[in-house]
């Protein structure tokens, strides 16, 4: 059974907007749930596709269109809101923003080059389990020790990665109208090409564009959570003030 989950940590009393978050390949919503203590001005909603965490054995999505359709069906986007996606999640958030009738306050894209994506000589999702495991750890670091020491758990985790990588590697960008909302592109300072990789996102919005680098590598989202929380919260609050000012004119 393919089942998408929506995880919502307790809502802080100071929340003025909702931030919908989409995970990286192989990632789970629990990572974003931990941000709640660092983003007091935001209500966090973490969108978890099937095939990971407590739903590890479920069938995962393998194509972007069906994943986006399921998100639009299962997730209620309550304004005012913004979208955040890391790595593969950035592409998912972008396609959700394009498909929504309601315009988000802002789209945050993290550590993902903008579409259209270059082709890959050897797609990772076609590798056998052993080669896929080695390539995942070479690129993004070791899998959790619990997965590495349990054959069945490792097999399920690799199946999740394989499905997500298939979403990424078969993704085809369909040109269309640019977004009307601002985009903030974020990269880790230690990533290959860093912020330079993200500048092309400017071409996907008619609104404002900002880019920044944060301490760390590809998973900079796991470092300096207070700093990341301030960046997200301050930006969304400023967008909300501007939106309210525009409406009062």
Residue 161 contacts residue 169 (beta carbons within 8 Å): no
Structure tokens at 247: 């409406």
Positions annotated as catalytic residues are 87, 218
Peptide bond into 136 cis (omega under 30): no
């Amino acid at each position: 059974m393919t089942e998408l989950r929506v995880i919502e940590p307790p809502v802080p009393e100071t929340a003025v907007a909702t931030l919908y978050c989409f995970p990286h390949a192989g990632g789970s919503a629990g990572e974003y749930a931990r941000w709640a203590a660092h983003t007091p001005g935001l209500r966090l909603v973490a969108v978890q596709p099937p095939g990971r965490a407590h739903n590890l054995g479920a069938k995962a999505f393998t194509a972007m269109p069906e994943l986006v359709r399921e998100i639009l069906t299962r997730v209620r986007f309550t304004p005012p809101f913004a979208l955040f996606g890391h790595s593969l999640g950035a592409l998912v958030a972008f396609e959700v923003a394009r498909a929504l009738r309601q315009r988000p306050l802002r789209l945050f894209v993290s550590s993902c080059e903008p579409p259209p994506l270059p082709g890959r000589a050897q797609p990772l999702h076609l590798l056998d389990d052993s080669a896929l495991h080695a390539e995942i750890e070479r690129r993004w670091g070791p899998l959790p020790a619990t997965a590495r020491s349990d054959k069945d758990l490792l097999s399920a985790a690799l199946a999740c990665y394989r499905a997500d990588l298939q979403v990424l590697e078969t993704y085809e960008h369909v040109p269309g109208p640019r977004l009307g909302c601002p985009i903030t592109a974020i990269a880790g300072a230690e990533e290959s090409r860093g912020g330079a990789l993200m500048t092309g996102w400017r071409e996907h919005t008619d609104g404002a564009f900002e880019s920044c680098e944060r301490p760390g590598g590809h998973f900079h989202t796991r470092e300096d959570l207070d700093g990341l929380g301030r960046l997200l919260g301050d930006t969304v609050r400023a967008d909300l003030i501007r939106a309210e000012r525009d409406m009062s004119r």
